[in-house]
């Protein structure tokens, strides 16, 4: 205890004896900041973002930019909520309430009029662009993995953990079809851009190609030379001819949708001596070049030459690549990474042309505004951030 030299003197000297010592710390002189060093102490990482949305109270999983309103954004996460908000309008936000578990997926209809949210509660909810609930679509017996709109109308497709795929008409709330056949969670899926076919990938290591009207499974792609572990992601070429898929097994394959045949196979890029292969987390066809791209937990973005079935470039990241997005129909691609950074790549040269900083933890999803001026990212740090990308068209 400290002892006051003069108890009746409030400003008396204070003495400490050895018994007052709680803890001793050795300080190395080299560790002491220089008094004249402006950067002494903690140096904060620069924040390149122009807008931060902080309405959520947990990790964020999903982001979607409106295809018609360049400032309208939807985000969702582990706080069981979605939000609609506007870039540059800090006073405008609309909370999407009603999910009872994490909001795992978001998608705007192609005309920009409706937003679909999928939750781990097994519900798909349809909202207008002001955030008013239009309807709740029920049926799946497990969490919703993804939601996708038909390219030409208000039909909504979703894949569930209960092995099923559901198709509804969002205008009249009718369930049109249920696609059954997968043996595990349906982790990825989409309509072909012409709207005539549905492709779905599952944790059962198969790709199924469906007729949306007859619910017939036209092709089931499985076994050698296809994936040996569950699919994680897929993308369909703009001409509706090919699907590219990625898997937990670290491989990437391209399938001819018409024939159901595997036409290209790219095995895991990490060697077998490194143990189990690192999962591929994201794939996409270039909208304007004969390329496909894949990103994985091995930290690599691979840009594939589809015509020659070979890698053009392997672009290294410090940590795993979780998501990617093309900047319109350009040669530029954005990757989101476990290190909390977004990197912009020139896929013609294989160079990283910009690194965008600001997030403190892994990026989970990225989306590009309809005017190609903004990139919006969401992270497990609980924030959504907006970055300017108008120089990269």
Name the least confident of 42-56, 109-123, 321-335: 42-56
What whole-number percentage of the chain has pLDDT above 90? 86
Architecture in CATH of 51-388 = 7 Propeller (2.130)
Mean pLDDT of 259-264: 98
In angstroms, what CA-CA distances link 97 with 82, 145, 357? 7, 19, 31
Measuring CA to CA, how many Å separate 391 from each of 285, 332, 348, 387? Answer: 22, 10, 16, 11
- Residue 228 forms beta bridges with which residues? none
Q: The tokens 């999983």 sit on which residue?
A: 61
Rounded mean pLDDT of 50-65? 98
The mean of the pLDDT values for the chain is 92
More confident residue, 20 or 298: 298
- Position 38 pLDDT exceeds 70: no
Classify the C-alpha dihedral 32-35-39-40 as positive or negative. Answer: positive
- For residue 146 the two structure tokens come to 């993804």
Residue 5 has pLDDT above 50, yes or no: no
The domain spans of the chain are: 51-388
- Find, among 269, 329, 325, the residue nearest to 297 by Cα: 269
């Amino acid at each position: 205890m400290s002892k006051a030299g003069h108890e009746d003197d409030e400003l008396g000297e204070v003495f400490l004896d050895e018994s007052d010592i709680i803890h001793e710390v050795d300080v190395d002189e080299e560790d002491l900041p220089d008094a004249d060093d402006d950067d002494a102490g903690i140096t904060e990482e620069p924040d390149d973002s122009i807008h931060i949305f902080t309405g959520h109270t947990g990790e964020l999983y999903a982001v979607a930019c409106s295809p018609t309103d360049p400032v309208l954004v939807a985000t969702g996460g582990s706080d069981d909520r979605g939000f609609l908000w506007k870039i540059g309008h800090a006073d405008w936000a609309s909370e999407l309430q009603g999910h009872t578990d994490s909001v795992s997926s978001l998608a705007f209809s192609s005309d920009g009029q409706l937003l679909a949210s999928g939750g781990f509660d097994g519900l798909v909810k349809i909202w207008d662009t002001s955030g008013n609930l239009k309807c709740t679509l029920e049926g799946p017996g497990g969490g919703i993995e993804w939601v996708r709109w038909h390219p030409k109308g208000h039909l909504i497709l979703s894949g569930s953990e209960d092995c099923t795929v559901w198709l509804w008409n969002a205008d009249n709330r009718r369930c049109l079809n249920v696609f059954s056949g997968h043996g595990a969670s349906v982790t990825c899926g989409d309509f072909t851009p012409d709207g005539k076919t549905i492709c779905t990938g599952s944790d059962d290591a198969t790709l199924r190609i469906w007729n949306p009207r007859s619910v017939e499974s036209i092709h089931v792609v499985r076994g050698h030379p296809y994936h040996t572990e569950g699919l994680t992601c897929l993308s369909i070429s703009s001409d509706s001819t090919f699907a590219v898929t990625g898997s937990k097994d670290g491989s990437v394959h391209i399938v001819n949708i018409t024939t159901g045949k595997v036409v290209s196979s790219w095995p895991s890029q990490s060697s077998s001596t490194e143990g189990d292969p690192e999962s591929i987390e994201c794939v996409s066809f270039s909208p304007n070049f004969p390329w496909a791209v894949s990103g994985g937990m091995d930290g690599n973005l691979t840009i594939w030459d589809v015509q020659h079935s070979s890698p053009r470039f392997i672009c290294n990241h410090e940590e795993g690549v979780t998501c990617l997005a093309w900047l319109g129909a350009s040669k530029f691609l954005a990757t989101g990474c476990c290190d909390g950074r977004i990197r912009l790549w020139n896929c013609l040269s294989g160079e990283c042309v910009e690194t965008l900083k600001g997030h403190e933890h892994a990026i989970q999803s990225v989306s590009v505004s309809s005017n190609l001026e903004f990139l919006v990212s969401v992270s497990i740090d609980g924030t959504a951030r907006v970055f300017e990308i108008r120089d990269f068209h």
